[in-house]
């Protein structure tokens, strides 16, 4: 039986490792080019949810959340028109961003994390839908809540995905606004919005 030295197999292993590394680097370059392209907002939102969130936490996207909020708004308007008490939503949207960010704008109907934490009893039993800029911070918060047995769905794309769908934003006191805190100049929003980073 022929005997082979280790050099052949060592070379194969080295070549294999180099090929693997090249493949990984190529994938990273592709992701980077996508993130800097015209669809940067959506790409960052998707990557933020992928890396920042948890695969074990249920997720909701902008279209789903908008449908939920629209349905709740319609129910409230209908009740008001007929003189009935406003129905209580079975979910609560929680903005987990910093004060500087939420003071610029929020998704209509959202409350701050501080408000939610202070009044947990009021929202007991409701589905909590946290969001941030791209889904990382909200994903971590969602995981915390889930560990406490609280029903939760992370808004994976968060406010950047909301803006990419050109959906409305309001100030904390409910006034319409086109300003949106994008956290970093790395991100962008459609022309109809005024990005804020400070």
Taking only the tens place, the pLDDT of each residue in 116-167 is 999 999 999 999 999 999 999 999 999 999 999 999 999 999 999 999 999 9
Residue 108 backbone dihedrals phi, psi, to 5 degrees:
-50, 130
Does 12 have pLDDT greater than 70?
Answer: no
Second CATH level (architecture) for the domain 39-196 = 3-Layer(aba) Sandwich (3.40)
| Mean pLDDT of all residues in 10-21 | 44
What would the pLDDT profile of 186-195 be if each residue is shown by its tens digit?
Answer: 999 999 999 9
| Cβ pair 131, 140 in contact under 8 A | no
Is the pLDDT higher at 38 or at 106?
106
- Indicate the pTM of the whole model: 0.74
- Closest by Cα among 111, 159, 109, 108 to 131: 159
Task: Give the Cα separation of 158 and 138 in Å (integer).
Answer: 8
Angle at 160 between CA 112 and CA 139, to 5 degrees: 55
Does 14 have pLDDT greater than 80?
Answer: no
What pLDDT, on the 0 to 100 scale, is given for residue 61? 98
Is the pLDDT higher at 66 or at 23?
66
What pLDDT, on the 0 to 100 scale, is given for residue 55? 55
What pLDDT, on the 0 to 100 scale, is given for residue 41? 43
What pLDDT, on the 0 to 100 scale, is given for residue 4? 35
What pLDDT, on the 0 to 100 scale, is given for residue 198? 87
Does 25 have pLDDT greater than 50?
Answer: no
Mean residue pLDDT of the chain comes to 83
| Mean pLDDT of all residues in 164-171 | 98
| Cβ pair 138, 51 in contact under 8 A | no
| Mean pLDDT of all residues in 64-90 | 97
Is the pLDDT higher at 110 or at 7?
110
């Amino acid at each position: 039986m022929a005997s082979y030295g280790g050099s052949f197999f060592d070379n194969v292993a080295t070549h294999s490792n180099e090929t693997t590394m090249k493949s990984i680097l190529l994938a990273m370059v592709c992701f980077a080019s996508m993130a800097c392209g015209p669809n940067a907002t959506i790409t960052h939102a998707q990557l933020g949810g992928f890396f920042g969130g948890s695969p074990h936490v249920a997720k909701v996207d902008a279209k789903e959340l908008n449908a939920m909020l629209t349905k709740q708004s319609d129910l409230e308007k209908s009740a008001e028109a007929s003189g009935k008490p406003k129905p209580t939503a079975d979910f609560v949207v929680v903005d987990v961003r910093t004060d500087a960010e939420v003071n610029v704008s929020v998704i209509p109907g959202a409350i701050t994390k501080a408000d939610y934490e202070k009044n947990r009893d009021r929202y007991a039993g409701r589905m909590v839908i946290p969001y941030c800029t791209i889904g990382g911070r909200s994903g971590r918060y969602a995981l915390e809540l889930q560990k406490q047995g609280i029903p939760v769905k992370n808004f994976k794309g968060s406010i950047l995905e909301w803006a990419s769908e050109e959906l409305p934003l309001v100030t904390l006191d409910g006034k319409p606004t086109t300003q949106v805190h994008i956290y970093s100049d790395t991100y962008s929003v459609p022309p109809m919005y005024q990005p804020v980073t400070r």
